[in-house]
Amino acid sequence: MWGILRRSAVDGGGFSSSSLGKTRFALVSARSYAAGSKEMTVRDALNSAIDEEMSADPKVFVMGEEVGQYQGAYKITKGLLEKYGPERVYDTPITEAGFTGIGVGAAYAGLKPVVEFMTFNFSMQAIDHIINSAAKSNYMSAGQINVPIVFRGPNGAAAGVGAQHSQCYAAWYASVPGLKVLAPYSAEDARGLLKAAIRDPDPVVFLENELLYGESFPISEEALDSSFCLPIGKAKIEREGKDVTITTFSKMVGFALKAAEKLAEEGISAEVINLRSIRPLDRATINASVRKTSRLVTVEEGFPQHGVCAEICASVVEESFSYLDAPVERIAGADVPMPYAANLERLALPQVEDIVRAAKRACYRSK
């Protein structure tokens, strides 16, 4: 199950039992490893996080299209209307600009809204409120107006939803000072980061992924506790390695872990970093990892130009240039609006093989 690490001509290394012992990857191994460990879907993780925060603080309320009676377009807010009533789980008319503005106004006045976008593609209709009002108010008012608001919803590509429903907004929002941008992967990420986001006094953009909602992950007792919170601005090393650093976020973390498995079979030990926080970006962890491995492959689903990967590459080149043994590698979505046809869609998104190829390129290029 762990794979046998063969000696590789390139890195000259062999077995590294310490890294073996510390390696954790989400699904298969942990299930048989920890007896009686619980599992939770990302959907349930998000639901429980919102539920607990609403229970703890009466100022927290949820608003969005279909969040109440319909139990949530993706059932993330299931059961909340029954529990907290229509004043705290508010079904809005169809106007993103409208309800985002209202959420910002409510946050100005001291409430803590959790605003749901059915998909972040629709947030573009409200982006002025998010950026010009929510993100910049604390600064422009010199600390007099803070905006403790969370904007959450599915981001990036789903399956067969076409160009206007598939864009990734991580790079757009992460470029704005005043916002915090988070992207969970596992159920633990979802719980810990959403709770942290709701408690945070600054505006937070919380980028979920529709295809991850139904996926189950093992979850620790600690993560199930209602006071559990993950720090904003810290990345997580999902799998330790020593030959190449692969950084990514959201759904691509799963792909990167699969790629790491494949690379391990070929003797390349990949370190997979789950960014968790796009802004603030955990440059320290990324650079420390690259200084260890000397190679960087950065992966994202979004468009390549001016993407999150571009920022990571720049950061690594600026801070760890002399440690690099190979040019930095960027894997991103194709530079086209997302096509609908399944075969084209697959070609427009990074796949496990792309990550494997890039990592191998990075590893052999030093010759």
Partner 1 sequence: MAIWFARSRNIVSSLRHNLNLSGILVQRDHSPRHAFTNSQLSSRSVFLDSFTSLRHESTAVEKQLDLVQQSDEEDPQELNFPGGKVGYTSELKFIPESSSRRVPCYRVLDENGRIIPDSDFIPVSEKLAVRMYEHMATLQVMDHIFYEAQRQGRISFYITTVGEEAVNIASAAALAPDDVVLPQYREPGVLLWRGFTLQEFANQCFGNKADHGKGRQMPVHYGSNRHSYFTVSSPIATQLPQAAGVGYSLKMEKKNACAVTFIGDGGTSEGDFHAGLNFAAVMEAPVVFICRNNGWAISTHISEQFRSDGIVVKGQAYGIRSIRVDGNDALAIYSAVRSAREMAVKEQRPVLIEAMTYRVGHHSTSDDSTKYRAADEIQYWKMSRNPVNRFRKWVEDNGWWSEEDESKLRSDARKQLLQAIQAAEKSEKPPLTELFSDVYDVKTKNLEEQELGLKELVEKQPQDYPPGFHI
Binding status of residue 178 toward partner 1 by CB under 8 A: yes
Neighbour-count burial of 90, counting CB atoms closer than 10 A to its CB (0-12 exposed, 13-18 middle, 19+ buried): buried
129 is catalytic: no
Q: What angle do CA 9, 327, 332 make, to 5 degrees?
A: 110
Cα–Cα distance measured from residue 193 to residue 46, given in angstroms and rounded to the nearest whole number: 9
Give the helix/strand (H/E) hosting 208.
strand 204-208
Task: Out of 52, 53, 65, 96, pick the active-site residue.
Answer: 96
* C-beta contacts of 65-71 below 8 A and 24+ residues apart: 65/91, 65/92, 65/94, 65/99, 65/116, 65/118, 66/91, 66/118, 67/91, 67/116
Backbone φ and ψ for 279, nearest 5 degrees, come out as: -135, 120
Choose which of 17, 18, 32, 144 interacts with partner 1 (CB under 8 A). Answer: 144
Q: Taking the CA atoms of 79, 84, 86 and 88 in sequence, report the sign of the dihedral they define.
A: negative
* 10/310 with CB nearer partner 1: 310
CA 33 vs CA 9, 28, 87, 206, 218: distances in Å: 32, 9, 45, 31, 11
Closest distance of CB 279 from partner 1, Å: 8
* 262/283 with CB nearer partner 1: 283
Binding status of residue 127 toward partner 1 by CB under 8 A: no
Of 77-85, 140-148, 155-163, 337-345: span binding partner 1 (CB under 8 A): 140-148
Site for partner 1 in 16-75 (CB under 8 A): 61
* 3/98 with CB nearer partner 1: 98
Cα–Cα distance measured from residue 113 to residue 89, given in angstroms and rounded to the nearest whole number: 10
Cα–Cα distance measured from residue 19 to residue 28, given in angstroms and rounded to the nearest whole number: 18
Site for partner 1 in 277-296 (CB under 8 A): 280-281, 283-284
By C-alpha distance, which of 30, 23, 34, 42 is closest to 261? 23
Binding status of residue 304 toward partner 1 by CB under 8 A: no
* DSSP assignment letter at 92: P
Binding status of residue 175 toward partner 1 by CB under 8 A: no
- Interface characters, 196-225, with partner 1 (x: CB under 8 A): ----xxx-----------------------
Cα–Cα distance measured from residue 158 to residue 95, given in angstroms and rounded to the nearest whole number: 23
Closest distance of CB 115 from partner 1, Å: 10
* 86/214 with CB nearer partner 1: 86
Closest distance of CB 98 from partner 1, Å: 3
Residue 182: strand pairing partners: 206, 277
Cα–Cα distance measured from residue 113 to residue 105, given in angstroms and rounded to the nearest whole number: 10
96 is catalytic: yes
Binding-site size, partner 1 (CB under 8 A): 46
Closest distance of CB 60 from partner 1, Å: 12
Binding status of residue 310 toward partner 1 by CB under 8 A: no
Question: For residue 359, how many other CB atoms are within 10 A of its CB?
Answer: 29
Closest distance of CB 313 from partner 1, Å: 17
Site for partner 1 in 72-111 (CB under 8 A): 87, 92-93, 95, 97-111
The set of catalytic residues is 96, 165
Q: Which residues bind partner 1 (CB under 8 A)?
A: 61, 87, 92-93, 95, 97-111, 113, 128-129, 132-133, 137-146, 177-178, 180, 200-202, 233, 280-281, 283-284
